[in-house]
């Protein structure tokens, strides 16, 4: 199954014709508020991708964000649109946070936009995400406002210019998450937990066991009895990630393994062998989140029923823990009965493609930290064809 919604991605050729369609559907929602004749025909997808960067979400695309640079170098959100049938699912927020990352990567520190002052999904939405009104816009932003007035966009309702300061904060907290997988009667299964509604980070989300790296994990990791070549393999696998805060590459690899063992024991009751854990992926929480993590994911192949039975519900951080067929996780994500954040969606889709413990365990996917939830779809990501233990 290809999930309708997984992560944000750069617009591809197949997305280009859909951009105008998405924008037109969004524009139609303004009809109860004003005469939309002044809007004119939405900008074509070809025009959008010719300038700046277009991010999309959905397969096929259900929403997009178009970031441009004004003539003074200011980062400007030219358009953010989500098709009405996909609204109220957090897609606009997800796209917006991905845009913050693009701004940061350009060494810019603010993002501007123009929008209607009183339409609920316009200025109030952006204000809730840290944007503030610019009372008297000048320079390039002022020229954008003047052009919109000439077009008649303010004829019926007031518009405002807004800006948000973009900083690379808070600093992501190093964390680890483990994907226990087994072959079940209905195909590949993964052990998952549904986070309690009282949690301050992704409450209610379906996740894999894991948590932040503690100071003690470095001490425990240094004492782990592990073959030197295994530690070297892990260090190479994580070399494209930001492991500096965890020590050198070998120290970081040991610390990650120690954290994985501890978190699995605390959250599931299972005692696992760190030597069987396989480096799998690395995701950093986007800017705009009140709490951010840099999560290293590891795969744990579970080969026997006895070992699988050791995994139980043993944490107050979740209200449910269980083995679940990967295809059921996909189905729940698709129909909305399960809430999955972008990393979980992408990893579940990859597991579904692999289909078995043997296929997953044989894979040595290249690991590059995913930032801002911007990630190609699994077929284009290029990980599933890799069997290179060096991760190249």
Q: Which pLDDT does position 1 carry in this prediction?
A: 73
Decide: residue 2, CB within 10 A, 0-12 exposed, 13-18 middle, 19+ buried: middle
Q: Which pLDDT does position 330 carry in this prediction?
A: 97
Residues 157 and 183 in one domain: no
pLDDT of 389 above 90: no
Report if residue 234 sits inside a domain: yes
Residues 238 and 345 in one domain: yes
Domain boundary (165, 181, 202) is at: 165
Quickly count: other Cβ atoms within 10 Å of residue 178's Cβ: 25
Decide: residue 108, CB within 10 A, 0-12 exposed, 13-18 middle, 19+ buried: middle
Backbone angles phi, psi at 273, to 5 degrees: -85, 115
Confidence category of residue 337, pLDDT binned at 50, 70, 90 = very high
Q: Which pLDDT does position 385 carry in this prediction?
A: 73
**Token pair for residue 108?**
């810019």
Confidence category of residue 242, pLDDT binned at 50, 70, 90 = confident
**Token pair for residue 113?**
């936009």
Task: Kindly state the helix (H) or strand (E) to which residue 124 belongs, with its residue range.
Answer: helix 123-128
Report if residue 112 sits inside a domain: yes
Residues 148 and 207 in one domain: no
CB 125 within 8 Å of CB 87: no
Report if residue 259 sits inside a domain: yes
Instruction: Assign residue 75 the CATH number of its domain.
Output: 3.40.630.30
CB 238 within 8 Å of CB 221: no
The dihedral of CA 110, 43, 46, 63: what is its sign? Answer: positive
- Among 160, 156, 155, 101, CA closest to 125: 160
pLDDT tens digits along 351-381: 999 999 999 999 999 999 999 999 998 888 8
Residues 204 and 293 in one domain: yes
Domain boundary (130, 165, 200) is at: 165
In angstroms, the CA 211 to CA 262 distance is 9
Residues 199 and 145 in one domain: no
In angstroms, the CA 348 to CA 343 distance is 8
Q: Which pLDDT does position 244 carry in this prediction?
A: 67
Domain boundary (165, 194, 222) is at: 165
**Token pair for residue 282?**
């690395």
Q: Domain tally for the chain?
A: 2
Q: Which pLDDT does position 386 carry in this prediction?
A: 58
pLDDT of 238 above 80: yes
Report if residue 294 sits inside a domain: yes
Q: Which pLDDT does position 391 carry in this prediction?
A: 46
- Helices 249-268/215-223 angle, 10° precision: 110
Instruction: Assign residue 270 the CATH number of its domain.
Output: 3.90.79.10
In angstroms, the CA 257 to CA 259 distance is 5
Residues 185 and 258 in one domain: yes
Report if residue 2 sits inside a domain: no
Q: Which pLDDT does position 390 carry in this prediction?
A: 47
Who contacts 324 (Cβ-Cβ below 8 Å, separation ≥6)?
Answer: 189, 190, 191, 192
pLDDT of 388 above 60: no
Confidence category of residue 392, pLDDT binned at 50, 70, 90 = low
- Structure-model confidence comparison of residues 1 and 71, the more confident one: 71
**Cis bond before residue 60 (omega within 30° of 0):** yes
Report if residue 279 sits inside a domain: yes
Confidence category of residue 38, pLDDT binned at 50, 70, 90 = confident
In angstroms, the CA 122 to CA 89 distance is 16
Residues 316 and 230 in one domain: yes
Residues 129 and 19 in one domain: yes
- Buried (b) or exposed (e) across 270-301, using 16+ Cβ within 10 A? bebebeebbbbbbbbbbbbbeebbbbbbbbbb
pLDDT of 232 above 50: yes
Q: Average pLDDT for residues 70-99, to the nearest whole number?
A: 96
Radius of gyration of the chain from its Cα atoms, rounded to whole angstroms: 23
Report if residue 1 sits inside a domain: no
pLDDT tens digits along 54-79: 999 999 999 999 999 999 999 999 99
Residues 144 and 273 in one domain: no
Backbone angles phi, psi at 338, to 5 degrees: -120, 140
Percent of the chain at pLDDT > 90 equals 89
pLDDT tens digits along 245-293: 778 999 999 999 999 999 999 999 999 999 999 999 999 999 999 999 9
Percent of the chain at pLDDT > 70 equals 97
Report if residue 388 sits inside a domain: no
- Among 210, 225, 265, 222, CA closest to 246: 222
pLDDT tens digits along 126-176: 999 999 999 999 999 999 999 999 999 998 899 999 999 999 999 999 999
Residues 260 and 342 in one domain: yes
Q: Residue 196 belongs to what domain range?
A: 173-373
pLDDT tens digits along 179-217: 999 999 999 999 999 999 999 999 999 999 999 999 999
- Coil, strand or helix at 221: helix
Who contacts 330 (Cβ-Cβ below 8 Å, separation ≥6)?
Answer: 1, 3, 348, 349, 352
Residues 154 and 194 in one domain: no
Residues 46 and 105 in one domain: yes
Task: Kindly state the helix (H) or strand (E) to which residue 233 belongs, with its residue range.
Answer: helix 228-237
In angstroms, the CA 182 to CA 46 distance is 45
Q: Which pLDDT does position 49 carry in this prediction?
A: 97
pLDDT of 51 above 60: yes
Residue 173 DSSP code:
E
């Amino acid at each position: 199954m290809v999930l309708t919604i997984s992560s944000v991605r750069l617009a591809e050729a197949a997305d280009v014709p859909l951009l105008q369609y998405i924008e037109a559907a969004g524009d139609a929602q303004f009809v109860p508020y004003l005469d939309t004749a002044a809007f004119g025909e939405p900008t074509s997808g070809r025009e959008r991708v010719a300038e700046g960067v277009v991010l999309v979400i959905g397969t096929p695309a259900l929403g997009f964000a178009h970031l441009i640079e004004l003539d003074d170098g200011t980062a400007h959100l030219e358009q953010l649109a989500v098709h009405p049938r996909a609204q109220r699912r957090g897609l606009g927020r997800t796209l917006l946070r991905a845009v913050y990352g693009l701004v940061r990567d350009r060494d810019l520190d603010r993002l501007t936009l123009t929008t209607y002052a009183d339409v609920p999904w316009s200025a109030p939405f952006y204000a809730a995400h840290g944007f503030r009104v610019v009372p008297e816009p000048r320079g390039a932003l002022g020229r954008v406002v003047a052009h919109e007035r000439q077009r008649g966009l303010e004829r019926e309702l007031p518009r405002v210019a807004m800006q948000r300061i973009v900083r690379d904060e808070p600093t992501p907290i190093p964390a680890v998450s483990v994907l226990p997988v087994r072959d079940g009667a209905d195909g590949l299964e993964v052990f998952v937990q549904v986070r309690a509604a009282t949690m301050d980070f992704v409450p209610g989300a379906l996740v894999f066991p894991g948590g932040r790296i503690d100071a003690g994990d470095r001490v425990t990791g240094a004492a782990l009895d592990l073959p030197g070549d295994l530690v070297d393999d892990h260090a190479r696998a994580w070399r494209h990630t930001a492991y500096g805060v965890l020590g050198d590459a070998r120290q970081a690899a040991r610390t990650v393994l120690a954290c994985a063992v501890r978190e699995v024991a605390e959250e599931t009751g299972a005692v696992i062998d760190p030597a069987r854990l396989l480096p799998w992926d690395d995701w950093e929480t986007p800017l705009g989140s009140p709490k951010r993590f840099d999560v290293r994911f590891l795969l744990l192949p579970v080969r026997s029923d006895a070992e699988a039975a050791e995994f139980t519900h043993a944490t107050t951080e979740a209200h449910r823990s269980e083995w679940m067929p990967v295809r059921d996780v996909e189905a729940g994500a698709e129909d909305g009965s399960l809430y999955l954040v972008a990393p979980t969606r992408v990893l579940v889709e990859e597991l579904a493609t692999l289909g078995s413990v043997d296929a997953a365990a044989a894979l040595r996917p290249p690991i590059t930290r995913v930032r801002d939830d911007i990630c190609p779809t699994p077929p284009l990501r290029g990980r599933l064809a890799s069997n290179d233990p060096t991760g190249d």
